[in-house]
């Protein structure tokens, strides 16, 4: 993959996309450096899923094994109604025939491993911390990133990996406004508990009108006695969100626990799981309308800066990882940097725009909402009399095709 290259790349942001991009560029022989606004990366957030199309890229970059060891190789998805009745179960990752696993992992573990690998391969100065980007300037020969302390960084390209509140995106689209609220608020947390179901199951249960949960383990055997760290997300329809949007805002159990108070299932006591959480975080489910373009001369957007999407379908981080491959391939294919960035945009803008829109209308967990409508939100005696397996698979398989991790897409 590596060849002589005329490109030098300045990456703004040391999140999943920025760190993965640095590893991909380094592997391709393209010089790069990351500029991160915080003084140090601290362990924040909760769980994240790496789907097979993204894990394939991470294994190719030589970090997949470490990520799988730190997280949990998810074996199956299971969909339940709010009465704890099983609607649909299907294998995931290697159990579904993929070459690489679906990995459920703590976001902090993912970022820690990526950062350590960047330092190991690119050197201790590969990431500049405390570098607050205030804007970019493009010209005929490249681009210049501007920083709050007056530093100017010149490169053949500047790649904005600075997230949903991207300063660079806002520079190009100043009238866009704040991220668009979906009408769904979410609370996230982690709980130390014994394994449920297979011990490697991703659970989606309930529906937004009454309360929906996503639950999956992200660390195995954390105490030598088989206890797991269980990630959970509680979602509720909330018409208006008036608080300041902060990923690290503490949440209050009293705001959502009553909606799940009677969720006592044979396979899980939901109130007990929520009440035993190490902590609770609150954040509104937001995205942005797809942009008409990401690339402006020698500057382009990547990951959440390019295509922020609501977290349904476990696809946000994965799409940023796919962006890094497309961008690296485009830079290798073109000596002209601006042409390479335009090629990257052509490869990735439309596919990611489809996912942003699909997450609103037909994510894989839409089958739970469909069953709720057909049953009148009551328990059923026979799921096959409510919805056929063919209909269930049409929804989940359809999403895999849109997101690009169906088997046919990964073979192409």
Q: Which stretches within 298-406 are classed as H helix?
A: 316-333, 337-361, 366-375, 383-386, 389-403
Q: Which residues are CB-contacts of 89 (< 8 A; sequence separation ≥ 6)?
A: 76, 77, 78, 79
Residue with tokens 């040391």: 14
pLDDT at 356: 87
pLDDT at 256: 93
C-alpha span between 373 and 370 (Å, rounded)? 5
pLDDT at 73: 97
Here the tokens at position 359 are 């997450």
Residue with tokens 């208006």: 240
Do the Cβ atoms of 334 and 47 come closer than 8 Å?
no
Burial letters 10-41, b for 16+ CB under 10 A, else e: bbbbbbbbbbbbbbbbbebebebbbbbbeeeb
Burial letters 183-218, b for 16+ CB under 10 A, else e: ebbbbbbbbebebbbeebbbbbbbbbeebbbbbbbb
**β-strands 299-301, 152-155 pairing:** unpaired
Kindly report the number of other CB atoms within 10 A of residue 122's CB atom.
18
pLDDT at 2: 43
Q: Which H or E run includes 121?
A: helix 107-122
Taking only the tens of pLDDT, the chain with its 412 residues reads 444 457 899 999 999 999 999 999 999 999 999 999 998 877 677 899 999 999 999 999 999 999 999 999 999 999 999 999 999 999 999 999 999 999 999 999 999 999 999 999 999 999 999 999 999 999 999 999 999 999 999 999 999 999 988 999 999 999 998 888 888 889 999 999 999 999 999 999 998 778 899 999 999 999 999 999 999 999 998 877 766 666 677 889 999 999 999 999 999 999 999 999 999 998 888 888 999 999 999 999 999 999 998 877 678 889 999 999 999 999 999 999 999 999 999 999 999 998 888 877 777 788 899 999 999 999 999 999 999 999 998 888 887 887 777 888 887 6
Residue whose C-alpha is closest to residue 397's, from 362, 372, 348, 371: 362
Residues in the chain: 412
Is the pTM higher than 0.85? The answer reads yes
Largest separation between any pair of C-alpha atoms in the chain: 68
C-alpha span between 213 and 206 (Å, rounded)? 6
Q: Which H or E run includes 170?
A: helix 167-172
Residue whose C-alpha is closest to residue 165's, from 126, 118, 133: 133
CA atoms within 13 A on the CB side of 83: 11
Q: Give, in order, the Cα–Cα distances in Å from 288 to each of 283, 317, 412.
A: 15, 16, 30
Here the tokens at position 13 are 């942001």
Residue with tokens 């769980």: 47
User: What angle, rounded to 10 degrees, do the helices at 16-27 and 107-122 form?
Assistant: 30
> By CB neighbour count within 10 A (0-12 exposed, 13-18 middle, 19+ buried), where does 411 fall?
exposed
pLDDT at 3: 46
- Residue ranges of domains in the chain, CATH in brackets: 9-49+66-72+107-178+288-360 (3.50.50.60)
Torsion of CA 264, 267, 271, 277, to 10 degrees: 180
Using left for φ > 0, alpha for ψ between -120 and 50, and beta otherwise, residue 150 falls in: left
Q: pLDDT digit string (tens) for 189-223?
A: 999 999 999 999 999 999 877 889 999 999 999 99
């Amino acid at each position: 993959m590596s060849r002589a290259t005329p490109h030098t790349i300045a990456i703004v942001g040391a999140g999943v996309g920025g760190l993965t991009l640095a590893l991909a560029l380094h592997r391709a022989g393209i010089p790069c450096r990351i500029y991160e606004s915080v003084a140090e990366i601290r362990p924040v957030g909760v769980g994240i899923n790496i789907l097979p199309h993204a894990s394939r890229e991470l294994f190719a970059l030589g970090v997949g094994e470490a990520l799988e060891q730190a997280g949990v190789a998810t074996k199956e998805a299971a969909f339940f109604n709010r009465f704890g009745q099983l609607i649909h179960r299907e294998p995931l990752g290697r159990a579904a025939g993929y070459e690489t696993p679906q990995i459920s992992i703590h976001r902090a573990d993912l970022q820690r491993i990526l950062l350590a690998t960047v330092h190991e391969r690119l050197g201790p100065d590969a990431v500049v911390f405390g570098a607050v980007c205030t804007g970019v300037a493009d010209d005929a020969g490249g681009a210049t990133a501007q920083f709050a302390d007056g530093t100017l960084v010149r490169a053949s390209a500047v790649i904005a990996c600075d997230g949903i509140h991207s300063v660079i995106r806002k520079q190009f689209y100043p009238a866009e406004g704040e991220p668009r609220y979906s009408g769904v608020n979410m609370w996230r947390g982690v709980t130390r508990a014994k394994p449920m179901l297979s011990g490697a199951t991703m659970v989606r249960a309930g529906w937004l009108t009454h309360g929906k949960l996503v639950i999956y383990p992200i660390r195995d055997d954390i105490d030598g006695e088989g206890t797991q760290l269980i990630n959970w997300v509680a979602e509720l329809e909330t018409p208006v969100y008036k608080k300041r949007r902060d990923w690290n805002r503490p949440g209050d159990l009293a705001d959502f626990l009553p909606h799940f108070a009677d969720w006592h299932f044979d396979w899980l006591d939901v109130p007990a799981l929520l009440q035993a959480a190490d902590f609770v975080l609150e954040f509104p489910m937001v995205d942005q309308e797809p942009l008409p373009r990401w690339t402006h001369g020698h500057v382009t957007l990547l990951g959440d800066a390019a295509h922020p999407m609501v977290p349904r379908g476990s696809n946000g981080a994965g799409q940023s990882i796919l962006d890094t491959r497309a961008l690296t391939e485009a830079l290798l294919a073109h000596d002209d940097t601006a042409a390479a960035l335009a090629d990257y945009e052509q490869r990735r803008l439309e596919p990611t725009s489809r996912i942003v829109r699909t997450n609103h209308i037909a994510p894989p967990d839409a089958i739970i909402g469909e069953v709720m409508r057909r049953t009148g939100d009551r328990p059923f005696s026979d799921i096959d009399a409510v919805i056929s397996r063919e209909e269930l698979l049409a929804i989940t398989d359809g999403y895999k095709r849109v997101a690009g991790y169906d088997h046919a897409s990964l073979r192409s």
